[in-house]
Amino acid sequence: MLNKCLSVEFCDQNDIECKHPDNIYGIRYLHHDRIQQTNILRRLQQLSLIECVTKCFMISGCVAVNYDKDRKICDVLDELDVGENLRVEAGSIFAKNSIWSKTLAGSCADYTCFAGDKCVELETGGIRSAYVYCKDPVQEAYNATCIETFGLYKNLKAGNQFKCKAGFLMIGRPFLICNENGEWNKMFYCRDMDILPRDCSDIPYGSGSGIYTISLEDQHFDVYCDMDTAGFGWTVFQTRIDGTINFYRGWSDYEVGFGNLKSEFWLGDSLMSSHQNHNGMMFSTTDKDNDRDTSGNCANKFKGAWWYNVCHKANLNGAYLGGRISSFANGIIWYTWKGYYYSLKSTKMMIKRY
Contacts with Ca ion by CB under 5 A lie at: 289, 291, 293
- In contact, 317 and 308? CB cutoff 8 Å: no
Q: Whole-number minimum distance, CB 309 to Ca ion, in Å?
A: 10
Closer to Ca ion at the Cβ: 296 or 323? 296
Q: Whole-number minimum distance, CB 269 to Ca ion, in Å?
A: 20
How many helices (H) does the chain have, and how many strands (E)? 8, 21
CA distances 219 to 87, 148, 214, Å, are 44, 33, 8
Q: Whole-number minimum distance, CB 268 to Ca ion, in Å?
A: 24
Torsion on CA atoms 252, 257, 260, 262, rounded to nearest 10: 160
Q: Whole-number minimum distance, CB 297 to Ca ion, in Å?
A: 5
82, 182, 189: which is closest to 135 by C-alpha?
A: 182
Closer to Ca ion at the Cβ: 75 or 291? 291
Q: Whole-number minimum distance, CB 302 to Ca ion, in Å?
A: 12
Closer to Ca ion at the Cβ: 301 or 348? 301
- In contact, 40 and 150? CB cutoff 8 Å: yes
Quick check: helix, strand or coil at residue 138? coil
131 forms beta bridges with 117
Residue 70 buriedness (CB in 10 A; 0-12 / 13-18 / 19+): exposed
210 forms beta bridges with 225
Closer to Ca ion at the Cβ: 281 or 349? 281
Quick check: helix, strand or coil at residue 154? helix
Closer to Ca ion at the Cβ: 57 or 302? 302
Closer to Ca ion at the Cβ: 40 or 311? 311
Closer to Ca ion at the Cβ: 285 or 343? 285
- In contact, 73 and 91? CB cutoff 8 Å: no
Q: Whole-number minimum distance, CB 307 to Ca ion, in Å?
A: 13
Judge if the upstream peptide bond of residue 311 is cis by omega within 30 degrees of 0: yes
Closer to Ca ion at the Cβ: 64 or 311? 311
- In contact, 267 and 257? CB cutoff 8 Å: yes
Q: Whole-number minimum distance, CB 195 to Ca ion, in Å?
A: 46
- In contact, 91 and 49? CB cutoff 8 Å: no
Q: Whole-number minimum distance, CB 275 to Ca ion, in Å?
A: 16
Beta strands in 116-233 (DSSP E): 117-121, 127-131, 144-149, 159-164, 168-178, 184-192, 210-216, 219-226
